[in-house]
Amino acid sequence: MHRILLFLFPIALFAADEAKKPVIQNDPFVLAPDGSIAVIPYNPRQLESVNKISQEIDFYHSQINEKIKFLSFEKRMKDSRYGQVGYARAIQLPYESPYVQHSRYVMKLKGGGGAEGGGFSLDEISFWSRKSLTQHHKEPITIYREMKNSASNGGAKSLTISVRTVTIYDDTSNTYELEKIQSPWDRLKLMRTYRDRLIEVLRSIDRYIMTKGTLQAREVDATILEVTVGGDFQEP
């Protein structure tokens, strides 16, 4: 009897390990039947996060659409696009070659046609960076990275990232679609990053609105002061 129990015990452990296998999600060697790298599915907790972040992304898309009305009123659109650029940053890290990084975001808009607020709405938004090595006596390398999503499809369904590396010898590009990235942790990280960048876009437009409002208030206040203060009037 004891021998039977000892024999069954390893089988039970093996079955428990097999049951836990999909939850571990850290096997980099999982392959699909056709030989491609298999996409590891979300576990229930990750799926809850995906749904929550998707709802947040839709909310921030709608908030950006509200801000677009202001940008249209200010005639800031050009060829149905609006964007902002970041300051160039010189970066020097330990054990890495120094480089200069540029960044920007661009919103591609749809609609228009003279409706209230211009009738524009967000179609696509992309975040772009360029990293150029600046060290002398080193092979010049420029790396372009982009994160892009279609707001029209809802959530992060069309979210992609791409990287292009340009050297004096070669020019290579790779694009990764969200739903085809193997690791569920990386997919979640990408969705969170996109959501956080949307928040930065909203803040950047809010700063523009606040600056515009502050300048307007100052101009109105100064004008009121000027027309209020005067001397004795007489014939010219």
Q: Which helix (H) or strand (E) holds 31?
A: none
Q: Which residues contact 94 (CB under 8 A, 6 or more apart)?
A: none
- In this prediction, residue 194 carries a pLDDT of 97
- In this prediction, residue 159 carries a pLDDT of 97
Tokens 């975040």 sit on residue: 127
Indicate the DSSP class of residue 95: T
- In this prediction, residue 196 carries a pLDDT of 96
- In this prediction, residue 6 carries a pLDDT of 42
The SS3 of residue 6 is helix
Indicate the DSSP class of residue 178: G
- In this prediction, residue 156 carries a pLDDT of 93
| β-pair type (89-91, 81-85) | unpaired
Enter the pTM of the model: 0.78
Q: Report the alpha-carbon distance of residue 135 to residue 17 in Å, rounded.
A: 51
- In this prediction, residue 213 carries a pLDDT of 74
- In this prediction, residue 221 carries a pLDDT of 76
Amino acid at 55: Q
Q: Report the alpha-carbon distance of residue 222 to residue 39 in Å, rounded.
A: 63
- In this prediction, residue 132 carries a pLDDT of 87
* Contact yes or no for 101/89 (Cβ under 8 A): yes
Q: Which of 152, 76, 72 is nearest to 114 (CA)?
A: 72
CA dihedral 189, 192, 197, 198 (to 10 degrees): 150
Q: Which residues contact 128 (CB under 8 A, 6 or more apart)?
A: 103, 104, 105, 106, 144, 145, 146
How many of the other CB atoms lie within 10 Å of CB of 33? 6
The Cα-based distances of 48 to 14, 52, 55, 74, 125 in angstroms read 29, 6, 11, 40, 25
Task: State how far Cα 35 lies from the chain centre.
Answer: 31
* Contact yes or no for 157/194 (Cβ under 8 A): no
Give pLDDT < 50 ranges for the chain: 1-23, 115, 117
